[in-house]
Structure 1
């Protein structure tokens, strides 16, 4: 079976290699702004992942294909923190998260084109940040690490020093919850 990851994320590719030896990447062209946040973060990330996945599905002619899509957001104080678009936005996000608990949500979408079956799920991990000084935040922003990451930090990089504790799946915070994905793939009949 042809397995396709619908993602441009290097982190997702690296993590998927840990459980799947052979897969290809097709980057989705889905416009995430099409999905409106209605207050339910779990449903929101599933809809984002589904949008990405179905965009790739529509371009695949091979019925012997399985498409995997995922989307991750940071949720704090009733709002979604996506990828920062500027240094100022990154600073504002990190300042908000400083000393507080936030939640990281990932939605997973799997589509088996042969059987026309779909599985979706979402995972939530609680993350507690230490208090961050303005100097530390500015130094981190200078590294350019925050700009392709939801919530303006990467737990697997230098941003890991901000994290006091987590409750839940570490790989979810990185961007691909391996345990949940593994179980879903097994349930879809993928031989791992």
Structure 2
């Protein structure tokens, strides 16, 4: 059975290698704007993960296990996506300064042979320490936050802002390892 990760994210690829040694990468070009947020963040990230996996099905020509995921950052039930520019990143990080926010990941695994799909989602709470404006600007100049939901990467320099975490660290990075491993075990049986 072939394994396929429906994501171009280098972080997800690196994490998946801890569970699956050999897999192909097929970047899903699913337009996330097609999924309407209806107020439930867990359902929303699960649906995004499912749709990302479905988007590559036409390019799969042998029995495969398709792994897809989506991660989002939320503060006060508002979704904080990737920043549009440096000032947007600054506003986001200033908002998160000294506060607790939530990171949600949805993971979907689809077996093309059995047509079985397993999906789950997780939420991790992350507390930032108080950030000074110069800290935020210096971090933004590193370029790291400009392609990340919530404008930071916990696995990089942004990890310095994290005072406390409740839940799965790998969920915040982009692929909850324990939950993904359990889904794979259940779908391969």
Fold shared, TM-score > 0.5 on shorter chain: yes
Q: 2:40 aligned with 1:40, yes or no?
A: yes
Which residue is 1:165 aligned to? 164
CA distance in 2, matches of 1:112, 1:84: 34
Deviations 1:70-116 (A, max 9, x none): 00000101200111111111011101100000000000011100000
Please give the alpha-carbon distance, in whole angstroms, between the structure 2 residues aligned to 1:47 and 1:91.
29
Aligned pairs, number: 189
1:18-53 CA distances to partner (integer Å, 9 max, x unpaired)? 111010100001001111111100001011111110
Partner of 1:22: helix, strand, or coil?
Answer: coil
Displacement, 1:149?
1.0
Name stretches of at least 5 consecutive residues in structure 2 with no aligned partner.
none
User: Is residue 176 of structure 1 aligned with residue 175 of structure 2?
Assistant: yes
Partner of 2:187: 188
SS for the counterpart of 1:123 is strand
Give the structure 2 partner of residue 142 of structure 1: 141
Q: Give the Å deviation of 1:59.
A: 2.2
Q: 1:160 Cα deviation (Å)?
A: 0.3
Aligned to 1:26: 26
Name stretches of at least 5 consecutive residues in structure 1 with no aligned partner.
none
If the length of structure 1 is used for normalisation, what is the TM-score? 0.97
TM superposition score normalised by structure 2:
0.98
Show the 5 A alignment for 1:55-94.
55-62=55-62, 64-94=63-93
RMSD: 0.8
Distance in 2 (CA, whole Å) between partners of 1:136 and 1:38 is 35
For the residue of structure 2 that corresponds to 1:155, the secondary structure is coil
